[in-house]
Structure 1
Amino acid sequence: MFEAALALAMIFLPGVEGKIESGNLQVLAWLQAEESVESQSVSEDILSAAKRMVDLQTDYRFSFPTIEYPFGDVPSDWGLCCDVVVRACRAAGIDLQELVYEDSHRERELYIEANRRQHVAQPLNRSWIHRRTSNLNLFLQRYAQVLPTRYDSTRPEEWQPGDIVIYQKYQDLTWHIAIVSDDVDSFTGIPKVIDAWLNPGHVSEDHRLTDHGAIGGHYRITDSFRASLSE
């Protein structure tokens, strides 16, 4: 089983062998869509992987251990909210760990300032830089399609499955991240999101888009961005 999982993972992420522990490789391979990554849009691939994580019910755990680079991951049986997005994007052929870390070298002051606003005193470490909402928010502002942040029930088309949303509390303080689902609340019609949070304590599709409060960022990773990674 592991050999098949490794082979599948290497199709989508060349050079990954030996850089992720075997359990994480098995999960990564399972998160991949059954068709080739290129046969679907980025949003469809992200959604497919996120839905599979709902089935896994990976435990929510707030921890920042040292991990490999690139293609590094925490143990596959747990993660925090950012890991849901990172794993879904990685299954879609986009390694946010490497991309965010490399971008922080190009625009170091931007990332330092983003972390300062979040009261994060840690250096820009490649083990965790992609596991902070502030850094993902900055990266997506720079490279993804930026979309409206206020939900309007008369314009549901603005919120597409596979979109990424980042929540904020006050003064641009980001604190949570989720993926828009293709499921909607049966009473309100509000889209649900896929995320990892304290309630219910694992990756789920239980929350509505508006349940976590104000949305500070709404993004869509484009097919052209993914294509540019192989150029």
Structure 2
Amino acid sequence: MLAKFSLLFLLAATSLPAQTGEKLVTSARKQVGVTQYYDPMYRTLDFPNGDVPADRGVCTDVIIRAMRDALAKDLQQLVNQDMRANFSAYPKNWGLSKTDKNIDHRRVPNLRTYFKRKGYDVPLGKDKDPAKFLPGDIVTCTVPPNLPHIMLVSDKKTDAGVPLVIHNIGMGAKEEDCLFGYPLTGHYRVK
């Protein structure tokens, strides 16, 4: 009886990341055709659950909206809380001496730090093995010359088996083949 229960628990636990990933992909895909512009303008946002207009945003907004819609996780509030409690753990790229609830969650280096602190990081190997990237995984990269970028791994793949990504790299939310188009800097799986 105990062995049967353990097996059922193990099966349920291993399917949770898959269900989370599917939800994230579905939510991110809903942004394609809605978010049509790349707009990095600083804005004062409501708090919590603040957002820029749905027709615009940056790469981080794809992730923020997907997590809010699919998992009821408000990265604006979560990142703000963690940064307030652990400010020294976060990058100082912007010369800030305190948190800013309007922008902190919309910065890729801050999301990388938050995801790692929450235990979402997946080892990033040197090889480009598409099998290591599951639907709903979040990946970060550097767009030359040095721009941080973030993308969500799709459940759709190229003919070669490489997962597509859903992101906003300049022309609104798109689902396209560019997982390995830029040097990867992080790989995360939300639990």
Alignment of 1:88-107 (within 5 A): 88-91=66-69, 92-107=71-86
Partner of 1:203: 173
Partner of 1:128: 103
Contact 1:174/1:216 (<8 A) preserved = no
Q: 1:163 aligns with which of 127, 130, 137?
A: 137
Aligned sequence identity (%): 31
Contact 1:162/1:220 (<8 A) preserved = yes
CA drift of 1:151 comes to: 6.5
Amino acid at match of 2:65: R
1:209/1:151 Cα in 2 relative to 1: closer, same or farther (>3 Å)? farther
Partner of 2:122: 147
Provide the aligned C-alpha RMSD in A.
2.1
Amino acid at match of 2:185: G
Do structure 1's residue 214 and structure 2's residue 186 form an aligned pair? no
Distance in 1 of aligned mates of 2:76 and 2:168:
18
Contact 1:134/1:174 (<8 A) preserved = no
Contact 1:148/1:158 (<8 A) preserved = no
Partner of 1:178: 151
Q: Normalising by structure 1, what TM-score? A: 0.68
Distance in 2 of aligned mates of 1:174 and 1:102:
26
1:144/1:42 Cα in 2 relative to 1: closer, same or farther (>3 Å)? farther
Larger CA deviation: 141-150 vs 83-92: 141-150
Do structure 1's residue 192 and structure 2's residue 164 form an aligned pair? yes
Amino acid at match of 2:135: P
1:110/1:49 Cα in 2 relative to 1: closer, same or farther (>3 Å)? same
Partner of 1:59: 37
Cα displacement string for residues 73-111 of structure 1 (whole angstroms, at most 9, x for unaligned residues) = 011111000000000000121111000000001101112
Distance in 1 of aligned mates of 2:174 and 2:143:
22
Amino acid at match of 2:42: F
Q: Normalising by structure 2, what TM-score? A: 0.82
Distance in 1 of aligned mates of 2:104 and 2:35:
24
CA drift of 1:214 comes to: 1.2
Amino acid at match of 2:123: P
Amino acid at match of 1:193: V
CA drift of 1:174 comes to: 6.2
Aligned residues: 172
Q: Which segments of 5 or more consecutive residues in structure 1 lack a partner in the other structure? A: 1-37, 223-231
The SS at the match of 2:51 is: coil
CA drift of 1:121 comes to: 2.5
Q: Which segments of 5 or more consecutive residues in structure 2 lack a partner in the other structure? A: 1-15
